[in-house]
Chains A and B, each alone.
Chain A
Amino acid sequence: MENLGNGLVFGLATLGPGIGLGILIGKAIESMARQPEAAGQVRTTMFIGIAVVEALALLGFVLAFAI
């Protein structure tokens, strides 16, 4: 039962970041396609955004083991 709880913590923690990453990367690709000359800058900003969004899922990953 405790293992199930641990799994649920991580599983639920990935839901929000999953949606966020989808929107983020989708928009980044959209803007790269519209303006290919800005692709480098968009890519860098995208990775920074991914890092911030991903942090939430990672906190869930850690908490799943910490609890």
Chain B
Amino acid sequence: MTLLLAAAEWGGEFDGVLDDINALFDFPAIWHLELFGIDLSINRTILIAWFMTLVCATIFVMAFRRPSVVPSKLQSIGELTIDFVRQIAVDIIGPKGLKFVPLLTTFFLFVFFMNIAKITPFLMLPPTSRIAFPLFLAGIAWFVYVGVGIKEQGLVHYFKELAFPPGVPKALYVILTPIELVSNLVLRPFTLAIRLFANMVAGHILVVITLVTAHVFLPSLPAGTALGVFAVIISPLVFGFELLIIGLQAYIFTMLTAVYISSSVEPAH
């Protein structure tokens, strides 16, 4: 971000900057840390993730510290959130879905709070725009739905249903089995992660471009001022749009996890 700002302010060399879009997402380590050869350095992204986790935990501890029959404002917000996720779980998975409500609620809140850092003043960077976060979440979802499938249907039966869906002519299995295996075991977690990641990357770039345009062009020449004013006018719209995307992505992530779990609980017929 600073690189883009500097380049835009002094001379406007956009060529060199657009090549290095990574500068928007990659931050230098604040505290170097290495454990067993794995780089565990603390940088801005991690600090934002910790901070948002703290905010989320604080809100929910405050909400349910003294639960009462007539809920306070904060408690009703917490209850609404959990009811919302429970509704998703029961609608998609069925009665067995109640078991997965804690997991799905965690997913929903984690993704939501990580995303909302994108439009939080002074943070302005969604940790989910680094592939590690969505990929790890998708990895958890993968382990859960494969594990549930093995537990509910048995190891052999689960993979047999996965590779050879019933009710298909025998000759078609030549084409169908590889497609089914790849789509169920590789593409599902992959697209789950990439969907969140791509939306956050695109959203972050959009927000940065809007704000940088306002910052650079507002105090410039008369011709540029018009562009700056336009950016200022449009920035609330961009923020609103991003808020919509943030909520939608958290919802879709939760819902797709529920869909995958439901396909493991009860095989497709």
- Chain A contact residues, CB within 8 Å of chain B: 40, 44, 47-48, 50-51, 54-55, 58-59, 61-62
B123 is an interface residue with CB less than 8 A from chain A = no
Q: What CA separation (Å) do A58 and B256 show in the bound complex?
A: 16
B252 is an interface residue with CB less than 8 A from chain A = yes
Contact partner, B191, options A40, A47, A58, Cβ 8 Å: A58
Contact partner, A44, options B92, B191, B198, Cβ 8 Å: B92
Query: Do B191 and A48 have beta carbons less than 8 Å apart?
Result: no
What is the interface size of chain B, counting residues whose CB is below 8 A from a CB of the partner?
Answer: 12
**Can you give 17 A-B contacts (C-beta < 8 A)?**
A40-B91, A44-B91, A48-B255, A50-B252, A51-B252, A51-B256, A51-B259, A54-B191, A54-B195, A55-B187, A55-B195, A58-B191, A58-B194, A58-B195, A61-B194, A62-B194, A62-B198
The B interface is mostly helix, strand or loop, or mixed, namely: helix
In the complex formed, the residue of B with least CB distance to A51 is B256
Query: Do B198 and A48 have beta carbons less than 8 Å apart?
Result: no
In the complex formed, the residue of A with least CB distance to B258 is A44
Further pairs besides A40-B91, A62-B198: 8, Cβ < 8 Å: A44-B92, A47-B252, A47-B255, A48-B256, A48-B259, A58-B191, A58-B194, A59-B191
Q: What CA separation (Å) do A58 and B92 show in the bound complex?
A: 24
Binary contact track B176-213/A, C-beta < 8 Å → 1, others 0: 00000000000100010011001000000000000000
In the complex formed, the residue of A with least CB distance to B196 is A58
A22, chain B: closest CB distance, angstroms: 18
Q: What CA separation (Å) do A58 and B251 show in the bound complex?
A: 18
- Chain B contact residues, CB within 8 Å of chain A: 91-92, 187, 191, 194-195, 198, 251-252, 255-256, 259
B261, chain A: closest CB distance, angstroms: 13
Q: Which residues of A contact B251 (CB under 8 A)?
A: 47
A51-B91 in contact given A44-B255, A58-B198, A61-B198 (Cβ < 8 Å): no
In the complex formed, the residue of B with least CB distance to A58 is B194
Q: What CA separation (Å) do A55 and B190 show in the bound complex?
A: 9
Q: Which residues of A contact B187 (CB under 8 A)?
A: 55
Instruction: Pick from A44, A50, A51, A59 the residue with the most CB of B within 10 Å.
Output: A51
Query: Do B195 and A51 have beta carbons less than 8 Å apart?
Result: yes
Q: Which residues of B contact A54 (CB under 8 A)?
A: 191, 195
A55-B191 in contact given A40-B91, A44-B91, A44-B92 (Cβ < 8 Å): yes
Q: Which residues of A contact B256 (CB under 8 A)?
A: 48, 51
Q: Which residues of B contact A51 (CB under 8 A)?
A: 191, 195, 252, 256, 259
Q: What CA separation (Å) do A57 and B68 show in the bound complex?
A: 47
Q: Which residues of B contact A61 (CB under 8 A)?
A: 194, 198
Instruction: Pick from B92, B187, B195, B251 the residue with the most CB of A within 10 Å.
Output: B195
B246, chain A: closest CB distance, angstroms: 16
In the complex formed, the residue of B with least CB distance to A40 is B91
Q: Which residues of B contact A59 (CB under 8 A)?
A: 191, 194
Q: What CA separation (Å) do A44 and B256 show in the bound complex?
A: 10
In the complex formed, the residue of A with least CB distance to B18 is A3
